[in-house]
Amino acid sequence: MSTKMMLMANSLTHVRPLTCAAAAGSRLVPQPPDLIKWVKSEGGFVHKSVQIAQGDSFGLGLVASEDIPKGSDIIALPQHIPLKIGSLEAETSLDAGAHSALIKLAQHVPEELWAMKLGLKLLQERAKKGSFWWPYISNLPETYTVPIFFPGEDIKNLQYAPLLYQVNKRCRFLLEFDKILKHELENLKPDDHPFGGQHVDSSALGWAMSAVSSRAFRLYGSKRPDGTRSNVPMMLPLIDMCNHSFDPNAEIVQEEENRNRNMLVKVVAGRQIKQNDPFLLNYGCLSNDLFLLDYGFVIPSNPYDCIELKYDAALLDAASMAAGVSSPKFSSPSPWQQQILSHLNLDGQNSDLKVTLGGRELVEGRLLAALRVVLSNDEETVQQHDLEALKSLTVEVPLGTSTEVAALRTIVALCVIALGHFPTKIMEDESLLKQNVSPTTELALQFRIQKKSFIVDVMRDLSKRVKLLLAKESAP
Ligand SMILES: C[S@@+](CC[C@H](N)C(=O)[O-])C[C@H]1O[C@@H](n2cnc3c(N)ncnc32)[C@H](O)[C@@H]1O
């Protein structure tokens, strides 16, 4: 199935069509209402220094027009402003039919695509004449730089199989969901139609999913009878104008109002903010795969980036041999080794063979322990260690230097194999970047450069560790 999905004009003549052709960077309407004024008029608080400004490369953002002390409230939204499933219409019988149709549609969406569930609500409000949230929705970007909207060639240009898999999965879901929608909505009475009778195609669904994935926050929802609070994705008007940084100067805080026990969602200055500084939030410690998939950008030298590998016995034997191990036993482990592999969930029927390099640990603990155990022939020494020690890179040489060196060198060889799967070299990508390429090609190039640089960094780090171990061993 083609993975190419472009935003297309549709033939609807409704006052608020759900899709239309757009210039990059533009908002849903050319001159949307003033968002700051709207939030204030709805009882929200906006610090007098907050301004919406166009940045050089991150689109719009919030900027401080004067110094702000640490701990100051910057924005506070009362409970009725965030857009979430179940807001407003659940309380009125007027929209009950449309609301229950929407909930029924949301049940077709897999949990991992939660952004699509809230996206249905966003589409409903976008289609509704006189929607309470229209001042917010009209300020949303008309297009998104997430890969589901890349031309097919640029999806291929990403060159990294785990991301290609996710992009294809999302595209396939949108095309299938489009058909489900047609089927579920065809016989509905006009009053019960969740989108005011408008046809919603895969392009509109993609717009809504991307709007939510790139802007929604998962926060505490209403209180359950047992006093705990549910975890609810919601769109936060104005707050979602803050761009991302791993070194943020502001944070989101939820607070219960004394008067009516409603939850306020606030942005608070996490440190002193200087005049002309942008207000920045941390969207999460995410890999570049997730930043690109959900937000449409890539972070250079992202400390939370990672690569996915498959625990594959034949590949590990090949990598180990390339690393100088004479007869590795990944394809034929001893029964005691196999038992440990199954404790690591790397052997047996329901095993999880996806392992990662990077992220919080340089090498995923399960992979490290498996390599240490299979490359060691000394059952007695292995049994002296618990699994947690074998999984930890900070526990140095638990099974002796030669096993450790063999394990680390095997990972370096795995990295070489992983690099070999990319059809181009970093230098070639960098020279392509200097040519006049489209924004989506540029993003794809940046993504694959970062992925390859990340693998090179892991190789460097592990090779350094090997050198140190060997130097320590040969020291008198
Ligand atoms: C929550 S919105 C922030 C407001 C947005 N800039 C706008 O114009 O509406 C998130 C989007 O802002 C952009 N963005 C935010 N932080 C970024 C960063 N550190 N690097 C690149 N783009 C960023 C991306 O387009 C992302 O999808």
Encoded tokens for 18: 């759900």
Of 60, 242, 297, 446, the residue with max ligand 1 atoms within 8 A of its CB, to mutate for a pocket test, comes to: 297
Q: Measured in angstroms, how far is the CA atom of residue 371 from the centroid of ligand 1?
A: 40
Mean pLDDT, to the nearest integer, of 240-257? 94
Q: Which atom of ligand 1 is nearest to the CA of 245?
A: 19
Of 58, 246, 285, 304, the residue with max ligand 1 atoms within 8 A of its CB, to mutate for a pocket test, comes to: 58
- Estimate the crossing angle of helix 313-322 against helix 401-420, to 10 degrees: 110
Per-residue pLDDT band for 224 (boundaries 50, 70, 90) equals confident
Per-residue pLDDT band for 92 (boundaries 50, 70, 90) equals low
Q: Which residues pair with 254 in a beta bridge?
A: 265
Q: Measured in angstroms, how far is the CA atom of residue 58 from the centroid of ligand 1?
A: 5
Of 142, 215, 243, 291, the residue with max ligand 1 atoms within 8 A of its CB, to mutate for a pocket test, comes to: 243
Per residue in 288-328, pLDDT tens? 999 999 999 999 999 999 999 999 999 999 999 999 998 89
Listing DSSP states for 382-397 in one string gives HHTS-HHHHH-SSS--
Q: Where are the domains of the chain?
A: 20-283, 304-472
Q: Range with the lowest mean pLDDT among 64-68, 259-263, 368-372, 389-393?
A: 259-263
Name the pTM for this structure.
0.91
Mean of per-residue pLDDT scores for the chain: 91
Q: Measured in angstroms, how far is the CA atom of residue 281 from the centroid of ligand 1?
A: 10
Mean pLDDT, to the nearest integer, of 7-15? 29
Whether 239 has a pLDDT exceeding 90, the answer reads: yes
Q: Which atom of ligand 1 is nearest to the CA of 294?
A: 27
Which among 435, 357, 417, 426 has a CA at the least distance from the CA of 393? 357
Which among 275, 281, 272 has a CA at the least distance from the CA of 243? 281
pLDDT at 87: 58
Task: List the CATH code of the domain at 20-283.
Answer: 3.90.1410.10
Of 62, 214, 267, 301, the residue with max ligand 1 atoms within 8 A of its CB, to mutate for a pocket test, comes to: 214
Mean pLDDT, to the nearest integer, of 37-43? 97
Q: Alpha-carbon distance 337 to 353, whole Å?
A: 16
Whether 220 has a pLDDT exceeding 50, the answer reads: yes
* Three-class DSSP category at 268: strand
What percentage of residues in the chain have a pLDDT greater than 70?
92
Q: Measured in angstroms, how far is the CA atom of residue 285 from the centroid of ligand 1?
A: 15
The C-alpha angle with vertex 95 and arms to 90 and 100, in degrees rounded to 5, equals 65
128: left (phi over 0), alpha (psi -120 to 50) or beta: beta
Q: Which atom of ligand 1 is nearest to the CA of 55?
A: 6
- State whether the Cα torsion 184-189-190-191 is positive or negative: negative
Per residue in 329-339, pLDDT tens? 999 999 999 99
Long-range CB contacts (< 8 A, 24+ apart) of 160-163? 160/289, 160/307, 160/422, 160/447, 160/448, 160/451, 161/421, 162/289, 162/307, 162/308, 163/289, 163/292, 163/293, 163/447
Going by CA atoms, what residue is nearest to atom 7 of ligand 1? 60
Question: What are the Cα distances from residue 219, in Å, to 20, 62, 140?
Answer: 31, 21, 21
Going by CA atoms, what residue is nearest to atom 26 of ligand 1? 295
Q: Alpha-carbon distance 118 to 271, whole Å?
A: 32
Which among 309, 250, 295 has a CA at the least distance from the CA of 71? 250
Amino acid (1-letter code) at residue 439:
P
Q: Which CATH number fits domain 304-472: 3.40.50.300, 3.40.50.2300, 3.90.1420.10, 3.40.50.150?
A: 3.90.1420.10
Q: Measured in angstroms, how far is the CA atom of residue 311 from the centroid of ligand 1?
A: 35
Alpha helices in 301-391 (DSSP H): 313-322, 335-343, 365-374, 379-383, 387-391
Q: Measured in angstroms, how far is the CA atom of residue 131 from the centroid of ligand 1?
A: 25
Per residue in 99-147, pLDDT tens? 889 999 999 999 999 999 999 999 999 999 999 999 999 999 999 999 9
Query: Is there a contact between 201 and 178 (Cβ–Cβ < 8 Å)?
Result: yes
Q: Measured in angstroms, how far is the CA atom of residue 327 from the centroid of ligand 1?
A: 51
Q: Measured in angstroms, how far is the CA atom of residue 243 from the centroid of ligand 1?
A: 5
Question: Exposed, middle or buried: residue 252 (CB in 10 Å: 0-12, 13-18, 19+)?
Answer: middle
Encoded tokens for 371: 């390599």
pLDDT at 94: 56
Ligand 1 pocket: which residues have CB below 6 Å? 58-61, 141, 214-215, 240-241, 243-244, 295-297
Going by CA atoms, what residue is nearest to atom 15 of ligand 1? 243
**DSSP assignment, residue 29?**
S
Going by CA atoms, what residue is nearest to atom 23 of ligand 1? 58
Q: Measured in angstroms, how far is the CA atom of residue 89 from the centroid of ligand 1?
A: 30
Per residue in 425-470, pLDDT tens? 999 999 999 999 999 999 999 999 999 999 999 999 999 999 999 9
Torsion of CA 122, 128, 130, 135, to 10 degrees: 30
Q: Range with the lowest mean pLDDT among 20-34, 56-70, 143-157, 386-400?
A: 20-34
Q: Measured in angstroms, how far is the CA atom of residue 419 from the centroid of ligand 1?
A: 30
Q: Measured in angstroms, how far is the CA atom of residue 439 from the centroid of ligand 1?
A: 15
pLDDT at 64: 98
- State whether the Cα torsion 242-171-99-124 is positive or negative: positive
Per-residue pLDDT band for 256 (boundaries 50, 70, 90) equals confident
pLDDT at 275: 98
Whether 10 has a pLDDT exceeding 60, the answer reads: no
Going by CA atoms, what residue is nearest to atom 4 of ligand 1? 241
pLDDT at 88: 52
> From edge to edge, which strands make up the β-sheet containing 45-46?
45-46, 73-77, 263-269, 250-256
Q: Alpha-carbon distance 382 to 384, whole Å?
A: 5
Q: Measured in angstroms, how far is the CA atom of residue 33 from the centroid of ligand 1?
A: 20
Whether 162 has a pLDDT exceeding 50, the answer reads: yes
Q: Alpha-carbon distance 445 to 38, whole Å?
A: 40
Q: Alpha-carbon distance 286 to 360, whole Å?
A: 10
